[in-house]
Structure 1
Amino acid sequence: MSEMEQTPTPSRPPVVILCEPQLGENIGMVARAMANFGLHDLRIVNPRDGWPSEKARSAASRADHVIDAVQVFDRVEDAVADIQLLFATTARNRDIPKPVVGPDEAAAEAVAYGQKELTTGYMFGRERWGLNNDEVALSNKIVTLPVDPSYASLNIAQAVLVCAYEWRRTATSGQLPFTLDDYEGEPASQEAIQRMFEHLEGALDVRGFFRPVEKKPVTVRRLRNIFQKADLTDNEVRILRGVIASFEKYPAKYGNE
């Protein structure tokens, strides 16, 4: 899969709204965080340095599909007009009676709405002081992250990254993009494992591995346990048999005692 190819999810991704962002670099890093987790609708309200921004594009690290689709608005109300479930992100206590949820709970709600093809969104404030109370008042709920209250400052891209991660983790049920499982063989049968171990035990016995002899039963049991815990595949058992056969070619040092 190419870096720019988007993997579909069973839920409509949320919109990200940035209120009066100051630096193009921050906008670009937000776009990059969004692209990492399958979000693509970025809306900007009154960017201080104007738009388009080459600094934003550079910082986006090839998340061009997000940058190219950016919508710019003069008013927050217009940017959120079509959103049916809007979260305002803030790290500060607000004198506004609204439900406050964590990013995981917000993600669960956003996914549920998105599965019904409803529009959801996360609104983020300015780099220096966040959202104002009028902007927070537009939201349905407040999202706050479980940060250390003695240092609650996150930059915009970090906050977007956490929310986007939680959304995608929920939308995909935690499915990872790849695994490193051995697809070359099915799990080995107990018969195959036992035959391999008997092969190994015989080869080790000939070479005097089990010394002192009276401790052989304990050593054999521990060796067997190593291989049982390994969840070997058929292919791995064949490889191990080949390894054993390779050192069987050399003369035994101690003879068959």
Structure 2
Amino acid sequence: MKVKGEGSARKRAKSAPVAAATVQPAIVLVRPQLGENIGFAARAMANFGLTDLRLVAPRDGWPNDKAHAAAAGAAFLIDQAKIYTSIEDAVGDLNFVLAATARPREMVKTVLAPESAARELRRRGRAAERSGILFGPERSGLDNDDIALADAILTAPVNPEFASLSLPQAVLLFGYEWLKAEQAPSLGRVTTFDGPAKEGIAFPDTRAATRAELFALFEHLEAELDRSGFLRPPEKRPSMTRNIRNMFHRMGATDQDVRTWRGIVAALVRIRKKARR
């Protein structure tokens, strides 16, 4: 029996526009200690549709039978997890990175709650940017040098008297907010030339810089600052380089910005070499 209006409903369904896929954030577990916690974190990811699991120097090596067993139905995430020896390698292809921490740090960085972070990463994902979140080891969490590699901090509203979350809890908390985050509506008039307007910085004819591009800039800049004597005294060098890197993270650099800054550094080096002749 044909229901009245069924045919027209099918036509509308077929002609309905399909939303562009949102690029998911990577979940990066930094020096995780227990295989069980890796498995439980993978399970939390699967609960909320996250599939990009990256592990940096897991303490007990890899593969890990305990991680596989704890993941249960999410064991496929354990099987396809990517393993890295350093954070820099793990986030090299990403454009934007958050560091999850419960403790205040002496760094000038944007701080986002899980809900705000989920909205921000969805916005970036719809723009085809790749993002990720660093979660630290169970005992101590991320250290200052780990956090200095990120653009912003992710922290949750918790009881200040007991703010410590387990690794799987932290992953689950973000995953929940990620899944329930709604897409932001387009702004302004849509045209055939430039499409709908979006909140945030526009990147015409360019894109957000990857971590690898920024790390290469940092190496280039810091090497020349060492040669010029800027990064002195030696005991202050670590904090000075972290502050310099954080300035670049806050600016939301594009790939063109990175090329421009590397050109500036190279030009200043040429001037210095000519002056010595």
- Same fold by TM-score greater than 0.5: yes
Which residue of 1 is the match for residue 34 of structure 2?
Answer: 23
**Which of 114, 122, 141 is the aligned partner of 1:103?**
114
Q: Which runs of 4+ in 1 moved over 2 A?
A: none
Which residue of 2 is the match for residue 154 of structure 1?
Answer: 165
The residue type equivalent to 1:145 in the other structure is A
Which residue of 2 is the match for residue 137 of structure 1?
Answer: 148
Secondary structure of 2:181's match? Answer: helix
Unaligned runs of 5+ in 2: 1-18, 185-277
Aligned equivalents of 2:31, 2:90: Cα separation in 1: 12
The residue type equivalent to 2:148 in the other structure is A
The residue type equivalent to 2:71 in the other structure is A
**Which of 68, 77, 102 is the aligned partner of 2:88?**
77
Q: Give 1:65 deviation, angstroms.
A: 2.2
> RMSD of the alignment, in Å?
1.6
**TM score, norm. by length of structure 2:** 0.58
Which residue of 1 is the match for residue 128 of structure 2?
Answer: 117
Larger radius of gyration: 1
Describe how 1:7-22 pairs up with structure 2 within 5 A: 10-22=21-33
**TM score, norm. by length of structure 1:** 0.62
Q: Give 1:118 deviation, angstroms.
A: 1.2
Aligned equivalents of 1:111, 1:89: Cα separation in 2: 17
Describe how 1:1-257 pairs up with structure 2 within 5 A: 10-171=21-182
The residue type equivalent to 2:116 in the other structure is E
Work out the number of aligned pairs and report it: 166
Which residue of 1 is the match for residue 13 of structure 2?
Answer: none
- Contact in 2 for aligned 1:9/1:172 (Cα 8 Å): no
The residue type equivalent to 1:72 in the other structure is I
Q: Give 1:34 deviation, angstroms.
A: 0.3
Q: Give 1:171 deviation, angstroms.
A: 4.8
- Contact in 1 for aligned 2:123/2:183 (Cα 8 Å): no
Q: Give 1:69 deviation, angstroms.
A: 1.1
Larger proportion of helix: 2
